[in-house]
Structure 1
Amino acid sequence: MSIKPMLNIRSGTGDGRHTLVIQLIRERRRGVIFTPYRLLPEEFDAARRKAVVTCRRKTHLAFIREVNLFLENQRQELGRIVSELEREGRPFTVHDVTSAYRQRYDNRYVHTFFRRQIEDLRKAGALGTANKYKATLVAFEKFAGLRRVDFDSVDENMLLDFERYLRQIPLSPNTVAFYLSNFRAVYNKAQKRGYVTHDRSPFRAVPVHIQKTRKRAVSAEVIRRVATAEFPDSDKLNRARDLFMFSFYTRGMSFVDMAYLRQEDVRDGFVRYRRRKTGQVYTVRIIPEVQTILDRYREQCAPWALPVLLDYGEDGLLHPLVFEGATSDERLRFETKLYLRYKYSLSHYLRSLRSMRRRLDLPVGLSFNVARHSWASLARRQGVPVSIISVGLGHTSEKTTQIYLDELDNSAVDAANETVAGLLKKSGTPWGKNRKK
């Protein structure tokens, strides 16, 4: 394979400059890769196939160095592509080489690599992460304007400018951190795949800080009032109450995990599920209050355990969403439909919880995070060790939690769960009292 940089003389402009191209020849077939550089004829040595200095200005010297470094990197990249194609043992053409190169080269641009990550995530069914990356890309493209930014151009100054731009929108500090952390995740992926030519990450100088938010826990009295509330005139408020309490009774199960919980995940007296956020598997012993809620929706929600992934049918009634296709494309469309229904149901139930607060005249607002934080807070007040609470909540990103995950038996967490659930009854017993040894 012949790889030769040259000037595209036929593409000259009024200033006398010509586009620098890389010509590839294999088996008498020719391919051309256009570079982003344009040179005067005297700035390129056709024999040595490299740019040459024509004056001693610092800007000119820097430009020539940049061009030659670019050419050297591209030669190496093309050589790697040819070696990979040869190792596959299949015939290939010069078109195969240029196509592979363009795909890799395009991935060096932020917007291109972001879009491919979003597309791959959607194909894999990771719609939540795909939407987070999409929101981050939209914000960055508004910041960048007409600039086509490659990853090598992303430095500390650009990140600081991006951060300043987000703050001036204005966005809250944690929303700014949300965008920066997503950008860092994609940048790290691009760096691992070789689309960043240097090793140093600009995020070392621009750390991402999440500010602590106000605690959302409520008292046992508030939880008790929700648990015993009845709404004869509103099925939606009753369902919202059940979901709120289900989260509380299952050690703060998140709404997304409740939404995707299947009846097959409930067996032998336990709820076993995989957290969609972390991928870890959790096992929760079913206490009577949880069983009552599960039994209430068993017939109308199958195969789902709870009334979340339901939609109205032609009869005007709610029916569970069930996959009836056969192909992978149909499965992808169904997963997208499930995700959209989950997002809609989350908004719907949060509105219902706000209505419930008004109906019950509660002093604080309700959300599924409130159920989660309240379980932890009430457990702590009963003297449950922090290590057990951490395991119960699944705080696997914390080093202390990771230590206790290896040491604690799940039965200890289940015992803590029964203690917290017992606080809603008059006969609740403090942690450690009458506990089975």
Structure 2
Amino acid sequence: MVFPHLVLDDRRAKSNGTYPIVIRVTHNRRTAAFPVGISVKKEHWDEHNCTLLKSHPNYKSLHTAINNAYHKVQKSTEELLNNQQFTLKALKEKIRVQPVIEVEATKLLTFNEYANRLINDLYQNNKVGNAIVYQTAVNRLISFANFTELTFEQVNYRLLENFKNKLVSDGVKPNTVSNYFRTLRAIFNKAIKEKLVSRDAYYFTDIAFKPERTAKRSISKEAVIKFVNYSPETSKQECNAKDYFILSFSLIGISFTDLAYLKPSNIKAGRLVYKRRKTGRTYDIKLTTSAVAILKNFEDVTSGYLLPILPKAIKEDSLQAKNIILQWIKTTNKYLKKISGNLKIGKVTTYVARHTWATLAKRMGYSNELIAEAMGHQYGNRTTAIYLDDFEQHVIDNLNSAIQEFVTKANDSFLKVGR
């Protein structure tokens, strides 16, 4: 009886510490070995059952390749036996004519290498914001692990738990810790889908978190009124900071990044039509009187944009553009802090406009569904949302108009924008 069986040829290790898997066939006390074309480390081989262990990061793809190679040798052996022509020499000749397809083991990417590949892809696709988020999380983990090259196997429960505890002890905010782990989890999920790592090596479900509820970042109606009544000093930056905040509030909390990318072509028949950078969703907002007045202040901008934030001919969504916008946000927040400090109305940043718009809409009695629709969010269950019709545009227009009027009752200063 001839019986092919898989073995790990551990007589001599390769330079990377792996050993070749071969199919050994014995006949009349003579043995021949047929290489599969795959090499693995001893800890990934079950010697008793002669099989690859599921802990191998490329288990699925390599297991399939090994089985295919084994079945080809087994089939050739059976055909020769059935024809009473079997000899080891005949088997070698038959396999030489119909060779076992050697599948080289995919070069095992380290965690660093794979993460950097994803980050580079994000940069190539102009997803600079996501690339920076990925890079920050990966850098923190690698720095903590203190490894030049971190393998997927080394990113185990102990490392992740210790990493989390170190971040907490260093005073990193819970939501920031959660964001780091959400990013690392995303990298692992992508690697699992690409069959680069086994799902058995996924330890994130065992790491417990207690994220904090995001602190409210809105100001009151009275604070908004104080803010718009404020007369900036001669500082141009302070004037711009005030205008950008009011413009964002007037346009349903448009983000600073989206403000920076607005062009004259985004204005159509008294409406602002633009696609949000973060989500790709299209917004169609009726221009308020204050928004029109503020934009008029910047009519002399020659960069091709509505506001003097990005320079002409900048490559949109590039790292350079991202850095310019981040610097503008930093500068704007600096002057918003100065204004809010003078007025004693609490902390004001570029993002507070968006939170304030939503908070005031809620206090005025508008539904969560309508507020979410206006801001481009999905409210409630995904399945339920499929059956809900979008609100008609005039309903959202009326909502925004009501909010603008709400903060200007008995006070028309909200329209007094500019220098």
**Aligning the two structures, in what range does the TM-score lie when normalised by the shorter sequence?**
0.7 to 0.9
Residue 77 (structure 2) aligns with: none
Q: Secondary structure at the match of 2:344?
A: coil
Aligned to 2:85: none
Decide which structure has the larger Cα Rg and report it. 2
Change in Cα spacing, 1:361 to 1:198, as seen in structure 2 (3 Å) is closer
SS in 1 for 2:273: strand
SS where residue 284 of structure 1 aligns? strand
Aligned residues, how many?
362
Q: Contact 1:4–1:22 (CA<8 Å) still a contact in 2?
A: yes
Which amino acid letter does the alignment assign opposite residue 354 of structure 1? K
**3-state SS of 2:285 partner:** strand
Deviation of 1:31 (Å): 12
Q: Does 1:322 pair with 2:310?
A: no
* Distance in 2, Cα, partners of 1:80 & 1:274: 50
| SS of equivalent residue, structure 1 residue 218 | coil
Q: Which of 340, 349, 369 is the aligned partner of 1:367?
A: 349
Distance in 2 of aligned mates of 1:77 and 1:129: 35
In structure 2, the gaps of 5 or more residues are 1-5, 23-34, 70-101, 413-419
Instruction: For 1:11-410, list aligned pairs within 5 A.
Output: 19-21=18-20, 35-37=40-42, 52=47, 70=56, 75-76=62-63, 101-102=106-107, 105-106=108-109, 109-146=110-147, 148-151=149-152, 154-198=155-199, 201-206=202-207, 208-309=209-310, 320-323=311-314, 331=315, 335-358=318-341, 360-396=342-378, 398-399=380-381, 402=385, 406-410=389-393
SS in 2 for 1:300: coil
Deviations 1:150-201 (A, max 9, x none): 4455454443232212212231111111101111111221122222223685
Q: Deviations over 1:204-238 (max 9, x none)?
A: 33355531132122122221222233325111111
Note if contact 1:181-1:208 (Cα within 8 Å) is conserved in structure 2.
no
Matched, 1:415 2:398: yes
Go from structure 1 to structure 2 and tell me whether the alpha carbon gap of 1:4 and 1:406 turns closer, same or farther (over 3 Å shift): farther
The answer to which structure, 1 or 2, has the higher relative contact order (CA under 8 A, 6+ apart) is 2
Return closer, same or farther for 1:217/1:153 CA change in 2, 3 Å cut-off. same
8 Å CA contact 1:152, 1:198 repeated in 2 = no
AA paired with 1:214? A
Which amino acid is 2:355 matched to? Answer: H
Counterpart Cα distance in 2 of 1:110 and 1:302: 42
Q: CA–CA distance in 2 between the matches of 1:251 and 1:77? A: 54
Q: 2:407 aligns with which of 397, 418, 424?
A: 424
Relative distance call for 1:38 and 1:410 in structure 2 (3 A) is closer
Q: What's the Cα RMSD here?
A: 3.9
- Asked whether the 8 Å contact 1:273–1:283 carries over to 2, the reply is yes
Answer yes or no: is the 8 Å Cα contact 2:303–2:312 preserved in 1. Answer: no
Tell which deviates more after alignment, 114-123 or 192-201: 192-201
* Change in 2 beyond 3 A, CA 1:370/1:38: closer
Q: Describe the shift of the 1:397–1:113 C-alpha distance in structure 2 as closer, same or farther (beyond 3 A).
A: farther
Q: Tell me how far apart the structure 2 counterparts of residues 97 and 65 of structure 1 sit (CA, whole Å).
A: 16
